[in-house]
């Protein structure tokens, strides 16, 4: 296209020695970055990119590199014209890396890598190069998973919407269906929460593909916004349709037909149907915009088209006035990465010295009127939790009408990245449990007690099962109930005290129909108060 050609002549290419030095510098810097982020990248690959929710993460980096490659003729004149603003950008990225390591938040480490990559582009090609590679760079953000507690909260709400839509469709067709949270009662078949949401497993890949389509779509800005935004309702609508078809099959052919349909109509089929609907939507938008604005019949713009000729003209003028053949800002940024990377490695490898404690092997199995029976985890769960010590036991009060109380305390000597407390809000939904309610409650029921510790009281549901749960985070000298505050205190205490040890305390009991919820709550609170007063030797302050 003529409007994308620069009006000025490109600068003289760098000489051979300068080019070799530049390529060696970029290659060496990328190897250094890969070494510093190897643990977070391995975690990203093993934990997220190997499942349906973020499986697109395996392909997005390759797509981003290809999008940069097709613009190479516009980017080559910019090599060696780096910006010194790369230094503060890289410094900020490395600071976020250290914060992510100290707070045990992988999302901060992934965000740090994204910022560092942008800083490298800025150091090599300046702001003009960053503008030309802006979309591929921002596309990499779609590969960064949300924090577990945000991910579970978002997907739980989407599942509820999808389940409600499916039940509504069934009732419109005259099929008897009852919704209890994310469990749909179809009479002979109960559709559990995990089955009901399997069509939503591809919502993030569908959103990423919609973003790519919106970027290349020939149309006004509002049409691109519509294309991207529609990916979420499309996924929810199709999953609701899936639930409706399952209910209709149960009503017509019985439970066996529905189970076969569940295996066939998995999330990948939802994804393909989403692509079809997305294509139909783009065709309608393109047809309407072409008729109203008399545009050509091309749906997408060329891959190597740049947004504006002014950007390229400015970049060429900047390169022409510069006498640099070596991007000194890049070398300054490399020094920042090396120095702060060594510092972050020392922080991660630093030896913590939490106060001495007793092992949970010595934890009493008799707590006032409760008698406990020890339990153990299978090795597969221990490998996932990566805890240092734990107690898992069931306590029963003799001759009591209340059910046994399950006690679980997980202690971590150091909560570094990859080894940190797993919140119940992140773990339990994976087993099909839904948080029906959660409120803060004081452990000690005696009004005369000063500053009684406040913990979380939650009711969780799975089908017709209900459990009452009290849990809190025993972090150094604090009792914390908020997952966000836990991460903040990890960062603060690591900097000020050199400690990140802590524990999760969870007390659970099933809610039987013969016991009032209020009575069971008071009973469990009393037990949790006794547990809290017993923990000091095992979870140091």
DSSP 45: I
Give the whole-angstrom CA distance, residue 74 versus residue 4.
10
C-alpha separations of 171 from 164, 197, 382, 438 in Å: 11, 19, 44, 31
Q: Which residue has the higher pLDDT, 392 or 237?
A: 392
In tens, the pLDDT along 464-517 reads 789 999 999 998 888 999 888 888 888 788 777 878 888 999 999 999 888 888
In tens, the pLDDT along 337-357 reads 888 888 877 665 555 678 889
Query: Which segment of 211-225, 303-317, 414-428 scores lowest on mean pLDDT?
Result: 303-317
Query: With 80 as the cut, is the pLDDT of residue 67 above it?
Result: yes
SS3 of 320-343: HHCCCCCCHHHHHHHHHHHHHHHH
Give the whole-angstrom CA distance, residue 8 versus residue 317.
7
Q: Which of 89, 207, 236 is nearest to 142 (CA)?
A: 207
Sign of the dihedral through C-alpha 429, 433, 434, 436: negative
Sign of the dihedral through C-alpha 328, 333, 339, 342: negative
Task: Identify the pLDDT of residue 8.
Answer: 38
User: Tokens in use for 470?
Assistant: 């009290």
- 295: helix, strand or coil: coil
What is the total residue count of the chain? 541
Nearest-5° Cα angle at 335, 332 to 340: 130
In tens, the pLDDT along 346-388 reads 665 555 678 889 999 999 999 988 999 999 888 877 877 888 8
Q: Tell me the pLDDT band of 137, cut-offs 50, 70 and 90.
A: very high
Task: Identify the pLDDT of residue 406.
Answer: 95
Task: Identify the pLDDT of residue 293.
Answer: 55
Q: How far is CA 145 from the centre of its chain?
A: 3
Do the Cβ atoms of 64 and 215 come closer than 8 Å? no
Q: What is the residue-wise DSSP string for 474-526?
A: EETTEEE--HHHHHHHHHHHHHHTS---EEEEEEEEE--TTS-HHHHHHHHHH
Query: With 80 as the cut, is the pLDDT of residue 170 above it?
Result: no
- The mean pLDDT of the chain is 78
Q: Tell me the pLDDT band of 524, cut-offs 50, 70 and 90.
A: very high
Q: Tell me the pLDDT band of 282, cut-offs 50, 70 and 90.
A: confident
Cβ count near 515 (within 10 Å): 15
Task: Identify the pLDDT of residue 299.
Answer: 59
Q: Tell me the pLDDT band of 13, cut-offs 50, 70 and 90.
A: very low
Q: Which residue has the higher pLDDT, 431 or 215?
A: 215
User: Tokens in use for 245?
Assistant: 């078809």
Helix (H) or strand (E) holding 469: strand 465-475
Q: Which residue has the higher pLDDT, 441 or 296?
A: 441
Task: Identify the pLDDT of residue 60.
Answer: 92
Query: With 50 as the cut, is the pLDDT of residue 334 above it?
Result: yes
Task: Identify the pLDDT of residue 102.
Answer: 77
Determine how β-strand 465-475 pairs with β-strand 454-462. antiparallel
User: Tokens in use for 447?
Assistant: 């009004």
Q: Which residue has the higher pLDDT, 85 or 322?
A: 85
Give the whole-angstrom CA distance, residue 141 versus residue 339.
26
The mean pLDDT of 50-56, rounded to a whole number, is 78
Q: Tell me the pLDDT band of 261, cut-offs 50, 70 and 90.
A: low
Query: Which segment of 57-71, 75-89, 503-517 scores lowest on mean pLDDT?
Result: 75-89
User: Tokens in use for 8?
Assistant: 């000025």
- Judge if pTM exceeds 0.85: no
Do the Cβ atoms of 88 and 100 come closer than 8 Å? no
- 287: helix, strand or coil: helix
Report percent pLDDT > 90 for the chain: 22
In tens, the pLDDT along 405-439 reads 999 999 988 876 556 787 888 777 666 677 888 89
Q: Averaging pLDDT over each range in 14-23, 32-41, 154-163, which range is the top one?
A: 32-41
Task: Identify the pLDDT of residue 63.
Answer: 92
Burial profile 20-36: b = 16 or more Cβ within 10 angstroms, e = fewer: ebbeebbeebeeebeeb
Q: Which of 44, 209, 26, 207 is nearest to 113 (CA)?
A: 44
Query: With 80 as the cut, is the pLDDT of residue 122 above it?
Result: yes
Phi, psi (rounded to 5 degrees) for 506: -135, 130
Give the whole-angstrom CA distance, residue 152 versus residue 462.
15
Give the whole-angstrom CA distance, residue 385 versus residue 419.
7
Task: Identify the pLDDT of residue 136.
Answer: 93
User: Tokens in use for 195?
Assistant: 């089955």
User: Tokens in use for 235?
Assistant: 């996924």
Q: Which residues are within 8 A (CB) of 450 and not within 5 positions of it... i.e. 6 or more apart?
A: none
Query: Which segment of 108-122, 266-280, 283-297 scores lowest on mean pLDDT?
Result: 283-297
């Amino acid at each position: 296209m003529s409007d994308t050609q620069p009006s000025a002549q490109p600068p003289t290419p760098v000489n051979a020695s300068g080019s070799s030095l530049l390529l060696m510098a970029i290659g060496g810097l990328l190897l250094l970055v890969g070494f510093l982020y190897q643990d977070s990248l391995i975690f990203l690959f093993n934990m997220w990119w190997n499942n349906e929710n973020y499986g697109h993460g395996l392909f997005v980096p390759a797509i981003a590199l290809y999008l940069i490659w097709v613009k190479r003729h516009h980017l080559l004149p910019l090599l060696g014209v780096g910006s010194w603003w790369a230094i503060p950008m890289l410094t900020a990225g490395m600071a976020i890396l250290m914060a992510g390591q100290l707070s045990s938040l992988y999302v901060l480490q992934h965000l740090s890598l994204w910022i560092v990559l942008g800083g490298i582009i800025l150091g090599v090609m300046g702001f003009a190069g960053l503008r030309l590679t802006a979309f591929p760079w921002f596309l990499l953000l779609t590969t960064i998973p949300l924090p577990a507690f945000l991910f579970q909260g978002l997907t739980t709400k989407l599942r509820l919407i999808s389940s409600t839509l499916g039940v509504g469709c069934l009732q419109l067709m005259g099929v008897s269906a009852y919704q209890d949270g994310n469990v749909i009662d179809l009479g002979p078949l109960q559709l559990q929460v995990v089955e009901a949401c399997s069509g939503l497993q591809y919502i993030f890949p569908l959103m990423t593909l919609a973003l790519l389509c919106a970027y290349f779509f020939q149309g006004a800005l509002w049409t691109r916004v519509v294309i991207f935004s529609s990916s979420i309702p499309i996924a929810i609508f199709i999953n609701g349709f899936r639930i409706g078809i399952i209910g209709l099959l149960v009503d017509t052919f019985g439970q066996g037909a529905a189970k076969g349909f569940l295996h066939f109509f998995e999330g990948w089929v939802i994804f393909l149907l989403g692509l079809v609907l997305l294509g139909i939507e783009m065709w309608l938008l393109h047809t309407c915009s072409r008729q109203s604005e008399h545009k050509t019949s091309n749906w997408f713009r060329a891959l190597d088209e740049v947004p504006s000729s002014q950007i390229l003209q400015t970049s060429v003028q900047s390169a022409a006035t510069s006498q640099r053949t070596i991007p000194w800002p890049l070398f300054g940024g490399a020094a920042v990465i090396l120095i702060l990377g060594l510092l972050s490695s020392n922080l991660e490898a630093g030896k913590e010295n939490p106060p001495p404690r007793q092992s949970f092997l010595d934890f009493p199995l008799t707590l006032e009127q409760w008698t406990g029976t020890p339990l153990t985890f299978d090795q597969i769960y221990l490998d996932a939790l990566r805890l240092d010590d734990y107690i898992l036991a069931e306590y029963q009060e003799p001759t009591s009408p209340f059910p046994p109380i399950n006690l679980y305390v997980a202690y971590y000597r150091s909560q570094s990245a990859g080894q940190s407390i797993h919140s119940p809000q992140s773990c339990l939904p994976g087993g099909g449990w839904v948080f029906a309610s959660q409120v803060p409650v004081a452990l000690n029921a005696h009004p005369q007690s000063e500053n009684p510790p406040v913990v979380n009281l939650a009711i969780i549901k799975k089908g017709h099962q209900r459990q009452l749960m009290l849990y809190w985070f025993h972090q150094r000298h604090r009792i914390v109930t908020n997952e966000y505050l836990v991460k903040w205190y990890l960062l603060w205490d690591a900097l000020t005290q050199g400690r990140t040890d802590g524990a999760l305390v969870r007390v659970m009991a099933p809610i039987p129909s013969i016991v009032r919820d209020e009575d069971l709550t008071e009973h469990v609170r009393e037990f949790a108060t006794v547990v809290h007063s017993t923990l000091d030797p095992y979870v140091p302050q």
